[in-house]
């Protein structure tokens, strides 16, 4: 993964976390206002909460689709590496199988 995509992933995580934090604060405001204030203030808090919830959902969808595209790209790159080097892939798999077999073999 290159440096640009790593930093954009960290920014995306920060944006998602900030949206979720704002959503929690809005929900807490709504609960407090529902207990002791008039209808107009409750509607304003509900509107803020709806907006924050919508933004959080959009960011989560964007973040999920970004992760999915990164995963697909990594899978394609791995598949291409195996296609380019089939005998190395077979050798690595055989070595891994031998090591796993040695580790799992009961001691006599």
pTM for the model? 0.46
Contact predicate 19/55, CB 8 Å: yes
| Model confidence pLDDT, tens digit, residues 60-104 | 778 778 888 888 999 999 899 889 988 988 999 999 999 999 898
**What's the number of domains the chain is made of?**
1
- What is the structure's pLDDT at 98? 93
Phi, psi of 87 (to 5 degrees): -75, -35
Split at pLDDT 50, 70, 90, the class of 8 is low
What's the start-to-end Cα distance of the chain, in Å? 45
Length of the chain: 108
How far is it, in rounded angstroms, from Cα 97 to Cα 85?
Answer: 18
What range does the domain containing 36 cover? 3-104
| Model confidence pLDDT, tens digit, residues 20-63 | 777 777 777 776 666 666 678 777 877 787 787 778 778 877 87
């Amino acid at each position: 993964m290159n440096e640009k995509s790593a930093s954009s992933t960290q920014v995306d995580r920060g944006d998602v976390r900030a949206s979720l934090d704002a959503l929690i604060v809005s929900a807490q405001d709504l609960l407090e206002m529902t207990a002791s204030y008039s209808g107009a203030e409750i509607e304003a808090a509900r509107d803020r909460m709806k907006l924050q919830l919508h933004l959080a959902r959009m960011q989560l969808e964007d973040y999920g689709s970004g992760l999915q595209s990164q995963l697909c790209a990594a899978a394609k790159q791995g598949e291409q590496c195996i296609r380019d080097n089939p005998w190395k892939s077979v050798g690595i798999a055989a070595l891994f199988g031998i090591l796993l077999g040695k580790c799992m073999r009961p001691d006599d």
